[in-house]
Chains A and B, each alone.
Chain A
Amino acid sequence: MTAAVGQLSPAAVREPWDGGSRLFAAGGRAGYAGHLAAYGPLPGHEPRGTLLAQLQASGLTGRGGAAFPAGPKLAAVAEAGGAARYATRPSGPVLIANGAEGEPLSFKDATLLHNAPHLVIDGLLATAQSVAASAIYIYTAAGNLDVVAAALAERPDAAGVILTESPDAFVAGQASAAVNFLETGRAIPVDLRRRLADSGFKGRPTLVQNVETWAQVALIARYGADWFRAAGVAGDPGTRLVSLSGDVPAQQVLEVPGGAPLTDVLATAGIRHDAVAAVLVGGFHGRWVRPEGVVLSVDEGAAGLGAGLAVRPGAGVLHVLGPGRCGLAATADMVDYLAGQSARQCGPCMFGLPALADVMRRLAGGGSGGSGRGGAGAGAGVAGPPLDPGLVDEVGRLSRLVSGRGACHHPDGTVRLIASALEVFADDIPWHLAGQCNSGHAGHAAVGLAGVRDQPGRVPAEGGRR
């Protein structure tokens, strides 16, 4: 508790997982007063570098998907900002809170912004002060603008924060796409010559972090690295928000500690283990797993500690596939969606993903007369003509062809999803090739894509609490 400077002693903040939430400690839809009451004021003028040191020591990783360590990222920006201090043009670092949440199965960022916007703002302001930032942006989807604007308006210190609406597109949340959008109005990724930390928005050092990461920064700024590390495991300290969807009793956002066993998380949400065939971890760029023995951790080395298979939580999506659902069909729907979300500027992505979607669609369609969509009946064992066994090889060939060949990681993420599907649903493939699917095809996509996004439950006031 070395750096606990807030009025509130860290002990007064309920520990997460053992009966409380860090990020939602101020309750649902917390206003500024409630926020201050729960967390205390943001520590004032800290000696330069204190926040950075605490952040480095905390081991916080980005919560947007790539899980890049937040400390080194801030250090790079601070260093570039320091070097540019004597430049003639305004050149201080630019801070961007990325709440675009293009991932269709994710709603934890929206939940956070609706319920604890002040933590996000605190994280930005504390960092802005420590690196002498020249601009602060919150970039988020249309549905979150009003609450964030209200939060900005009700506090005295946030006049400099600029709120910008992000387009509703999968790649709009990619860091270089966010910067590109703020500069040019086009939310598509760019081929970076230099790191954003060195030269991002208008050539200034730029730090793009997911909104949840900024909220965690706010907590570390108040309570310090040791407090942060009290939750989670050494290789993945702190807590993270996950969006739980799919064949579940209720879609909800949970706050879970790093290294949490997946079965425990599902049990917390009241999901019996026999109600789960597989879980998509991390979102459309994540991977399918069978939950037994899986821990959610950014530290893939954790597997060696007897903790089970460590799976990176990515954007924090947990999407449950119930028994009787066809994983290949669900994956094919997702690849279809991803192919449609290519920014269509990099050849291998623009042509390769539709080709992959096509092959996956055919593979998934085995057993339902080739379409796989539109619900070929809920019954098991739907029969259709046998498929070309070369389809699986073609998936592999196209995957190798597109991976690593784009200006962003969209092709790589798509390939990762497909590879995990072929692995986890390997037993289903021979059946599909023979023209039989043992699961129904009852429009999984309806749950996967439309269901989540259009839910008013995207902002569950109590979603994060347990």
Chain B
Amino acid sequence: MSADSRREAAARLHIDWTRCDGRGLCAELLPEALSRDDWGFPLAAPGRLAVDADKSNVPLKHSELGAAADAVKLCPVLALRLARP
């Protein structure tokens, strides 16, 4: 799905790493797009992004936009924003 989903991305979820505290709310809201790494920080699900890609901008599908908007609203440290293509 990698190449196609990247082209189809309805929007990208930008993670500001300087703020993110790895509280994991976003991974709960977007279980298909994000998991959490060893330390709790959001990690793009396997296949979403190329290995050497900039993993701070996670591509989202149309169906995930609502949950992503919630994540932006609920992130306790305002580390997320949605970037429309």
Whether chain A touches chain B in the assembled complex (some CB pair under 8 Å): yes
**Chain A 400-419 interface 0/1 with B at a Cβ cutoff of 8 Å (1 = within):** 11011111000000000000
Query: Does A349 lie at the interface of the complex (its beta carbon under 8 Å from any beta carbon of B)?
Result: yes
CA distance A346 to B22 in the complex (A): 10
Is there contact, CB below 8 Å, between A345 and B17?
yes
Residue from A191, A404, A405 in contact with B41 in the complex, judged by beta carbons closer than 8 Å: A405
Residue from B41, B53, B54, B55 in contact with A347 in the complex, judged by beta carbons closer than 8 Å: B41
Interfacial chain B residues near A189, Cβ < 8 Å: 18
B43 vs chain A, min Cβ distance (A): 7
CA distance A345 to B52 in the complex (A): 21
Is there contact, CB below 8 Å, between A348 and B54?
no
**Chain B 47-80 interface 0/1 with A at a Cβ cutoff of 8 Å (1 = within):** 0010111111000000000000000000000000
B34 vs chain A, min Cβ distance (A): 12
Is there contact, CB below 8 Å, between B55 and A191?
no
Q: From B22, which residue of chain A is reached at the shortest CB distance?
A: A347
Interfacial chain B residues near A68, Cβ < 8 Å: none
CA distance A405 to B15 in the complex (A): 9
Interfacial chain A residues near B10, Cβ < 8 Å: none
Q: From A193, which residue of chain B is reached at the shortest CB distance?
A: B81
Q: A347-B21, A355-B38 are in contact. Are A404 and B16 (CB under 8 A)?
A: no
Query: Does B20 lie at the interface of the complex (its beta carbon under 8 Å from any beta carbon of A)?
Result: yes
Is there contact, CB below 8 Å, between B51 and A351?
no
Query: Does A190 lie at the interface of the complex (its beta carbon under 8 Å from any beta carbon of B)?
Result: yes
Is there contact, CB below 8 Å, between B51 and A405?
no
Residue from A191, A355, A400, A401 in contact with B16 in the complex, judged by beta carbons closer than 8 Å: A191
Chain A binding surface SS class: loop
Is there contact, CB below 8 Å, between A191 and B18?
yes
A180 vs chain B, min Cβ distance (A): 10
Q: From B54, which residue of chain A is reached at the shortest CB distance?
A: A404
Is there contact, CB below 8 Å, between A404 and B20?
no
B37 vs chain A, min Cβ distance (A): 6
Interfacial chain A residues near B55, Cβ < 8 Å: 403-405
CA distance A140 to B47 in the complex (A): 42
A27 vs chain B, min Cβ distance (A): 44
Is there contact, CB below 8 Å, between B38 and A400?
no
Residue from B15, B38, B54 in contact with A351 in the complex, judged by beta carbons closer than 8 Å: B38
A225-259 contacts to B, CB under 8 A, are none
A410 vs chain B, min Cβ distance (A): 11
A288-336 contacts to B, CB under 8 A, are none
Interfacial chain A residues near B40, Cβ < 8 Å: 347
A258 vs chain B, min Cβ distance (A): 25
Is there contact, CB below 8 Å, between A405 and B21?
no
**Chain A 425-436 interface 0/1 with B at a Cβ cutoff of 8 Å (1 = within):** 000000000000
**Chain A 344-367 interface 0/1 with B at a Cβ cutoff of 8 Å (1 = within):** 011111011001000000000000
A30-54 contacts to B, CB under 8 A, are none
CA distance A289 to B25 in the complex (A): 43
Q: From A350, which residue of chain B is reached at the shortest CB distance?
A: B39
Q: From B17, which residue of chain A is reached at the shortest CB distance?
A: A346
Interfacial chain A residues near B22, Cβ < 8 Å: 347
Interfacial chain B residues near A355, Cβ < 8 Å: 38
Q: A347-B22, A348-B37, A351-B39 are in contact. Are A403 and B51 (CB under 8 A)?
A: yes
Is there contact, CB below 8 Å, between A405 and B52?
no
B66 vs chain A, min Cβ distance (A): 23
Interfacial chain A residues near B51, Cβ < 8 Å: 400, 403
CA distance A355 to B52 in the complex (A): 19
Residue from B15, B17, B21, B38 in contact with A401 in the complex, judged by beta carbons closer than 8 Å: B38
CA distance A351 to B17 in the complex (A): 12
Is there contact, CB below 8 Å, between A345 and B18?
yes
Interfacial chain B residues near A347, Cβ < 8 Å: 17, 20-22, 39-41
CA distance A236 to B52 in the complex (A): 24
**Chain A 152-188 interface 0/1 with B at a Cβ cutoff of 8 Å (1 = within):** 0000000000000000000000000000000000000
Interfacial chain A residues near B41, Cβ < 8 Å: 347-348, 405
B residues in contact (CB < 8 Å) with A: 15-22, 37-41, 43, 49, 51-56
What 6 A-B pairs are tightest by C-beta distance, nearest first?
A346-B17, A404-B55, A191-B16, A347-B41, A351-B39, A345-B18
7 contacts between A and B (CB under 8 A): A191-B16, A345-B17, A347-B22, A401-B37, A401-B38, A403-B52, A405-B56
Other A-B contacts than A404-B53, A405-B15, 4 sampled, CB-CB below 8 A, are A346-B18, A403-B52, A404-B55, A405-B17
